Amino acid sequence: MKSFITICTASLLIVGGGCAAKKAKTLTPLPLSGKVSQSALQATMVGAAAFNSGQFEEAKSSFDQAVSGAPDSGEAHYNLGLALFALGNRDQAREQFIQAANLAPGHQVIWDSPALSPFGNPESTLPKTPLGQEPSGARPPLGGGGRR
């Protein structure tokens, strides 16, 4: 009986562990879409090749050129964010990822990217409570901003 329980437990751990483990998504630069300049397209191709070969500083430079040539492209900002993220510049990467998400509201790859997940939802949809209308039981803000 003990061996049966041991086998069942081991089977559950193996099956459960396989289900719990998520396959990591590979971060890859995106091609630009829409009407963008030829120079932005070229810079994106060069940047993507550099990024895919691990030359992140060169990729950053090329993607920066692509953003300059296509400032309204969510994909260009996303790609620059990837390079910045790979270089460890998380604050600058966050700005680019948020810009990308704002410019491409329906782009699933940008919005579902694991690169955005550490930063939360870039679109703040939480309703703001007007000052003085806090829910009952809410504490006043720190620093003496409460009513007396």
Instruction: Give the range of the structural domain holding residue 106, as residue numbers without chain letter.
Output: 38-119
> How many domains are there within the chain?
1
Tens digits of residue pLDDT in 34-73: 899 999 999 999 999 999 999 999 999 999 999 999 999 9
Cα radius of gyration rounded to whole Å, the chain: 23
d(CA 138, CA 145): 13
Residue 67 lies in a domain: yes
- Please, what is the angle between helix 56-69 and helix 38-52, to 10°? 160
Residue 29 lies in a domain: no
What's the predicted TM-score (pTM) here? 0.65
Residue 114 lies in a domain: yes
d(CA 2, CA 7): 9
Helix H segments across the chain? 2-20, 38-52, 56-69, 74-86, 90-103, 108-112
